[in-house]
Amino acid sequence: MGYRNYIWVVDKKKADLIRDLPIKELKKFSNPEDSYFSIFDLREKLKAVEAIELGKYAPGDVISKYLTNFFTDKTVLKEITDTEISIIDSIALKALIKYYKEEMIKFYKQLSKDINIGRMQHEFGELAAWTQMADIDEENKYNLTTSWRYDHALFNFMYLYKIFNSKKQYLLWVGY
């Protein structure tokens, strides 16, 4: 499956109790037989909701300047080198919305250049997409659909932007 990026939504009060903990304390959340700290144990402890899966090719460079390390203890940052977990804000979400919008515009401009081949490929792609369309995501209130497509992701980002409560919640940019 490979490395993927996600956006999680977590309660600020719960997260703030964990952010400053040293690695020794964080490992207590993990399986006692494990010698490492797992991001999955953190997810469970925080009761984090996976709002959006961005997949393998997430535009991390688009929001890198908006990332704030979730953990404040340097020992934790050294320990979890194969995992990325940062706080993002509504400005980062706007940057993602802008990025995905620009990607869709580029796609349609390219499609219009070679109207015959491009249009046929697009129509077959749309037919396949709608035939295999992901349903409404009824289990996740932060996500409109379970679709992985850029055009659908754009609406998921916009929706998340509208309902996100920055006073009570953190958005976490997570990669593993």
End-to-end CA distance of the chain: 10
Cα(108)–Cα(119) distance, integer angstroms: 10
The model's pLDDT over 118-143, given as tens digits with 9 standing for 90+, comes to 566 666 566 555 555 556 667 788 87
| Predicted model pTM | 0.82
Tokens 């908006």 locate to 66
Cα(143)–Cα(160) distance, integer angstroms: 7
CB 153 within 8 A of CB 147: yes
**Phi, psi angle pair for 47, to nearest 5°:** 55, 45
Query: Can you give the pLDDT at residue 103?
Result: 86
The model's pLDDT over 63-84, given as tens digits with 9 standing for 90+, comes to 999 999 999 998 888 888 788 9
For 75, the token pair is 């020992």
Q: Which residues are 53's β-sheet partners?
A: 6
Q: Where do the domains of the chain lie?
A: 5-137+148-175
> Is pLDDT of 6 > 80?
yes
Task: Provide the b/e sequence for 11-37 (b: ≥16 CB within 10 Å).
Answer: beeebeebeebebeebbebbeeeeeeb
* pLDDT > 90 fraction of the chain, expressed in percent and rounded: 39
